Structure 1
């Protein structure tokens, strides 16, 4: 059996990661409007993140995509601030420490890319995710920053990278 690995997204991963993200969003009861569910980028993740100061990583086991997470500039935000984006895992990938490994991979990339802060948006009822974010140093904000287009997200967090 092949070990679970985290690697950079490939073009051929587009369909699988879009399916994983939509499946998890539906499972979590996330609104389809005003969230990542309706992002145009979802169906072309490789192309979206194949740009400077962006990267997306997938979790793979036995050639199956189990989840992913990425870093990109925060739209209409401070140029030194990135956003942790589209970090979702199928149920079979949860509880194995992969979220912690994925965040480390993403934040290491963010530092290498020159960012000094990392922002994220989530839902208040995604308690396991919020607990993980707090564990790695994210703190809650009173409101959103930048312009993610995710107006249905109600929890905003930030972390200093320096």
Structure 2
């Protein structure tokens, strides 16, 4: 696959929101208390463009948006921490290494932004993704950090950069 990464653009908002919500539908993951029902999901360009210390990258191939991943300074996280957020890929894209490429790009960006750790939240329904996170050096922790508002998440991980 010859996908390339670029920063999120306004034109990506609708397609990114569709990809994210499609994943929740596909895996029957909790919709309330998650990114599914978060108003910001429909305005990712604005969210990341207007928040200092954040970034969001999308993967694209031949003009088709495949998914994305970002870094966000979630309120309430310990000093030096940001959250790895909204890593979602279309069904046809998964299993081809794009998620790992997006994560590596976010690790580099987070380091460049001065963060020492990335925190992330997930669900048991996304077991393959959680396995990928662990394979990329993320360690499970026993409780949530920060105030993401995504109270339905039951898996929490931290990656030291």
Aligned to 2:16: 17
Task: Name stretches of at least 5 consecutive residues in structure 1 with no aligned partner.
Answer: none
Correspondences of 1:2-151 after superposition (within 5 Å): 3-50=2-49, 51-151=51-151
Deviation at 1:64, TM superposition (A): 1.4
Are the equivalent residues in 1 in contact too, given 2:71–2:82 (CA < 8 A)? yes
Are the equivalent residues in 2 in contact too, given 1:74–1:119 (CA < 8 A)? no
Deviation at 1:125, TM superposition (A): 2.9
Are the equivalent residues in 1 in contact too, given 2:28–2:125 (CA < 8 A)? no
Measure, in 2, the Cα distance between the counterparts of 1:39 and 1:57. Answer: 19
Task: Name stretches of at least 5 consecutive residues in structure 2 with no aligned partner.
Answer: none
SS in structure 2 at match of 1:52: coil
SS in structure 1 at match of 2:125: coil
SS in structure 1 at match of 2:118: strand
Q: TM-score, normalised by structure 1?
A: 0.95
After superposition, give the CA deviation of every residue in 1:87-127 in whole Å (9 maximum; x if it has no partner). Answer: 01111111111111010001110000000110000002311
Deviation at 1:6, TM superposition (A): 1.4
SS in structure 1 at match of 2:114: coil
After superposition, give the CA deviation of every residue in 1:38-90 in whole Å (9 maximum; x if it has no partner). Answer: 11111110010013110111111121111111100122122310001010111
Measure, in 2, the Cα distance between the counterparts of 1:83 and 1:128. Answer: 19
Deviation at 1:148, TM superposition (A): 0.8
Count of matched residue positions in the alignment of Structure 1 and Structure 2:
160
Aligned to 1:158: 158
Q: Could you say what the CA RMSD is over the residues aligned between the two structures, in angstroms?
A: 1.2
Measure, in 1, the Cα distance between the counterparts of 2:103 and 2:144. Answer: 20
Are the equivalent residues in 1 in contact too, given 2:6–2:59 (CA < 8 A)? yes
SS in structure 2 at match of 1:93: coil
SS in structure 2 at match of 1:86: strand
